[in-house]
Amino acid sequence: MAVVTKNNIFSIAPMIDVTDKHFRFLARLLTRHTLLYTDMVTTGAILHGKRERLLAYNNEEHPVALQLGGSDPAALRDCAVQAKEYGYDEINLNCGCPSDRVQNGAFGACLMATPELVRDCLRAMADQPSSKPNIPVTLKCRTGIDQQESFDEFLHFIDIATDSPCQTVIVHARNAWLKGLSPKENREVPPLKYDWVYQLKALRPQLNIVLNGGITSLEQAKQHLQHVDGVMMGREAWHNTFFLADADAELFDDHHVKADRIAVSKAYATYCAEQHAQGVSLSVLTRHLLGLWHNIPGAKQFRRHISEQSHKPGATVAIIEEALALAGTTE
């Protein structure tokens, strides 16, 4: 049977321009156990760019996984070694993103057309020569590309890819349409195939199968966990972040005192002050608070103040306290 770690049960999906280290710090104020992912980082950016800026994270973020985008096994191995040196808890290969940018780089969802290459990439990523213990390698993919409607083709891809040290597969339960749809449409238009993911787990019980796609509540997550090993949630965690405060009790059986929205906002304000002093844009930091204040009394006033004030010259983290006051929640 697959070895299922506690943190595999529930995770937040890697999302470009969303799951940066600031969002992950905020999420960790709400949940101790949920596995957090970086947004995708390409091998070229790590090997030839500003590595520290791309790979550095806050120690509070653990457990945290790095998602890599690339298709060259040697480059992926080198990046995996870097990830291990930085102390990440997992390395994930992106075989699910359908955007033009990743297609032009010959990685992401288009890699599903070459399962042998995916296998070789995963094998290379697991080859992490150093004195530190190896960290797990995982795969994130779709149920297929374009108009593929054969479960057998999907299963064939999984079988070849997992002929490697990778034994955890995260499946976004939709096909990726490589032409004709925007990335946003690719998250919504192709029909969901939860039954395919359930069937995959039934046929390959030795694998750790995590389901992703269209999940918007912890109750839905619990229902899926009757069929698979783990659940990954995406955009809902960005738009309605405070639900994460219930994740530890609902999914991990850890009934610690639930995080308080106001206290979390103030703790994050302290973090923002530290980061802003180091040169991080205030708007980059405070945008993550918008999802924390969602669909509750005072949320509209809070969100409007943050959105309007964070871009102004001379703005400081005092705008967070001001927003709390406008929302009538400064106690």
Tokens of 123: 């094998």
Contact 316, 276 (CB under 8 A): yes
C-alpha separations of 240 from 38, 99, 233, 288, 330 in Å: 19, 25, 11, 10, 21
Q: What is the largest CA-CA distance in the chain?
A: 59
Tokens of 97: 């993103």
**DSSP string computed for 180-207:** S--HHHHTTSSPP-HHHHHHHHHH-TTS
Query: Which residues share a beta bridge with 230?
Result: 210
162 CB neighbour count, 10 Å cutoff: 21
Q: Rounded to whole angstroms, how far apart are CA atoms 86 and 248?
A: 26
Q: Does the annotation mark 272 as catalytic?
A: no
- Tell me the sheet residues that pair with 127: none
How far apart CA 47 and CA 142 sit, in angstroms, is 27
Q: Compute the C-alpha angle 285/260/320, nearest 5°.
A: 35
Tell me the C-alpha distance between 262 and 30, whole Å.
12
Given the residues 97, 110, 166, 272, the one annotated as active site: 97
For the residues of 36-49, what is the DSSP string, one character each? EEPPPEEHHHHHHS
Tally: H helices and E strands in the chain:
16, 9
The Cα 43–Cα 265 span in angstroms is: 34
Which amino acids are annotated catalytic? Answer: 97
